[in-house]
């Protein structure tokens, strides 16, 4: 039996630059659970809402395991995919007192900005 984690990973690896709107439309049992994902540094930086617990756990595990990473996305990308959040857009790294949406893309592999070079000088 294929798990939602495997479904998400396969979809991201096949398609790259994947939005949460796309996953909501394409992955069974991704949406409808009332779970939100927020950025670590600020609970008011909302990445996506109304996910199932299994979907949220799968995304978090894949990121922790360096199987996928997130990168910034434009609002237009989500409009193109047909879904946005009904929250104000985050405009920078501020300490918002209310939830603000941070549109992101899911990409395959570890975040290259966090990967250290081995051997040699940096």
Instruction: Summarize pLDDT for 5-20 with one digit per residue, the tens.
Output: 999 999 999 999 999 9
Whether residue 118 lies inside any domain: the answer is no
Question: Residue 39 falls within a domain, yes or no?
Answer: yes
**pLDDT value for 120:** 46
Supply the mean pLDDT for the chain: 92
Domain coverage including residue 18: 4-88+102-108
**With contact defined as beta carbons under 8 Å apart, do 53 and 33 qualify?**
yes
Residue 116 lies in a domain: no
Alpha-helical regions (H) of the chain: 4-15, 20-26, 53-64, 75-81
| Residue 34 belongs to some domain of the structure | yes
pLDDT of residue 111: 84
**pLDDT computed for residue 115 by the predictor:** 61
More confident residue, 103 or 42: 103
Per-residue pLDDT band at 40 (split at 50, 70, 90) = confident
What pLDDT is recorded for position 122? 44
Number of domains in the chain: 1
């Amino acid at each position: 039996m294929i798990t939602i984690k495997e479904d998400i990973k396969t979809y991201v690896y096949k398609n790259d630059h994947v939005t949460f709107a796309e996953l909501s439309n394409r992955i069974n049992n991704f949406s409808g659970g009332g779970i939100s994902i927020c950025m670590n540094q600020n609970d008011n930086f909302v990445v996506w809402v109304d996910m199932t617990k299994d979907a949220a756990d799968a995304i978090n595990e894949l990121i922790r395991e360096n199987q996928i990473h997130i990168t910034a996305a434009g609002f237009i990308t989500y409009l193109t995919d047909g879904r946005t959040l009904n929250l104000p857009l985050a405009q920078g790294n501020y300490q918002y007192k209310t939830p603000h949406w941070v549109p992101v893309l899911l990409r395959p592999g570890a975040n290259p900005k966090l990967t250290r070079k081995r051997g040699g000088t940096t």
